[in-house]
Amino acid sequence: MNKNELISAVADSASITKTDAAKAVDAVFSTISTSLGTGTEVRLTGFGTFTVTSRKATTGRNPRTGEAIQIPASKLPKFRPGKTLRESVN
């Protein structure tokens, strides 16, 4: 399912226009992104939890030359599914 299909499904499910559904979906994604950007965890009971984790700086190798390179530290968003979501998939 892509974003347009999600918007259509939300519009049908909530009996609203696709324009309103698109605004709602965009608002949800924007709010989650903004919260993660500030380091705040987003917990949706029954669905899952979005968190930010830190990755340490490491030394890697260039596969073409074998030369050692530094991989800088970074932050990554992670998603941990909730019990209800895991059960619905299985």
Q: What is the pLDDT of residues 17-65, one digit of tens each?
A: 999 999 999 999 999 999 999 999 999 998 999 999 999 999 999 999 9
| Count of CB atoms situated within 10 Å of the CB of 85 | 15
Domain-wise residue ranges, the chain: 3-89
Residue 90 has pLDDT above 90, yes or no: no
Q: Residue for token digits 């324009």? A: 19
Give the confidence band of 11 by pLDDT, cuts at 50, 70, 90: very high
CA–CA separation, 33 and 8 (whole Å) = 22
- From residue 77, alpha-carbon distances to 5, 83, 85, 86 in Å are 24, 20, 19, 19
Superfamily of domain 3-89: IHF-like DNA-binding proteins (4.10.520.10)
